[in-house]
Amino acid sequence: MQKNATPEGESPSRLIDGRIAELGDWRGETLAHVRALIKEADPDVVEEWKWRGVPVWSDRGIICTGETYKSVVKLTFAKGASLPDPAGLFNSSLEGNTRRAIDIPQGASLDVEAFKALVRAAVDLNRTKKAR
């Protein structure tokens, strides 16, 4: 896994580690869980830290971002509207033509296999678009 340096001098992976620790609650646990699933689904994923503190996972383009709010962890897929979602994981940002998001509130479970399939589909889409 590549780690790009940030202007702050810290690797994005360390900054994401710090965010998870800083949260210290269910949001940190959820962010750590989805991060692990993303890495399982795409061992070549690149972790980035953008827009003043947003974890981003990329592979030839953005796969998704991981934002934390008071009541949800939001995973926004950059090209989500173009991805198959047979399990219906997308439950937010449904009105746009490009992005789709998954809002995970406290106590919610995530269909692990469906999520990893969504990540792999996002990677495949990025690779297809870059190959053209």
CA of 118: how far to CAs of 36, 79, 84, 85, 114, in Å?
A: 14, 11, 7, 7, 6
Written as one letter, the residue type at 101 is A
What pLDDT, in 10s, does the model give residues 113-122?
Answer: 999 999 999 9
CB 7 within 8 A of CB 22: no
Q: What is the pLDDT of residue 100?
A: 97
CA distance readout (Å), 49 to 89, 96, 108, 113, 124: 24, 24, 26, 26, 22
State residue 130's pLDDT score.
60
Mean pLDDT of 96-125: 96
Burial class (CB within 10 angstroms; exposed 0-12, middle 13-18, buried 19+) of 98: exposed
Task: With beta carbons less than 8 A apart as the criterion, state whether 101 and 115 touch.
Answer: no
Say if pTM beats, i.e. exceeds, 0.75: yes
| pLDDT tens per residue, range 45-100 | 999 999 888 999 999 999 999 999 999 999 999 999 999 999 999 999 998 899 99
What is the CATH topology of the domain spanning 12-131? Aspartate Aminotransferase, domain 1 (3.90.1150)
The amino acid sitting at 99 is R
Which one, of 51, 68, 43, lies nearest residue 119 by Cα?
43
